Amino acid sequence: AQKITQTQPGMFVQEKEAVTLDCTYDTSDQSYGLFWYKQPSSGEMIFLIYQGSYDEQNATEGRYSLNFQKARKSANLVISASQLGDSAMYFCAMRSWSGAGSYQLTFGKGTKLSVIP
């Protein structure tokens, strides 16, 4: 079974500073995918970044980068130059393939990020 652990229930960061949100995972699958989503107070789930287990380079999307350390089973999200609009809940998730060909995401409990002006 897959498991995602986010150990930081809440984080504070000064505007314009960088912040790292931690995520560790557990799986017996050889092939898997890791996701980060942002959930602002309005409730929608916004896709941020994706890392495949066989990707050799860390994923980057604008100010977001994923620090993927396969041996340590960690997939930390790094947000550079934080903005006030980054204040939200952030969820780490892992993709697992079902025998039926579809896939499910297993989510962590989330980290609430607050950006301080």
* CB 37 to other proteins: min, Å: 7
Burial 83-106 (b: 16+ CB within 10 A, else e): eeebbbbbbbbbbbeeeeeeeeeb
Decide if residue 71 touches other proteins (CB under 8 A). Answer: no
Instruction: State which of residues 77, 93, 94, 115 lies at the interface with other proteins (CB under 8 A).
Output: 93
CA distance 76 to 73: 10
* CB 94 to other proteins: min, Å: 11
| Residue closer to other proteins (CB basis): 18 or 46 | 46
Three-class SS of residue 66?
strand
**Per CB under 8 A, which region of 13-21, 38-46, 68-76, 80-88 contacts other proteins?**
38-46
Decide if residue 9 touches other proteins (CB under 8 A). Answer: no
Q: Residues in the site for other proteins, rule: CB under 8 A? A: 33, 35, 37, 43-47, 50, 91, 93, 95, 98, 100-110
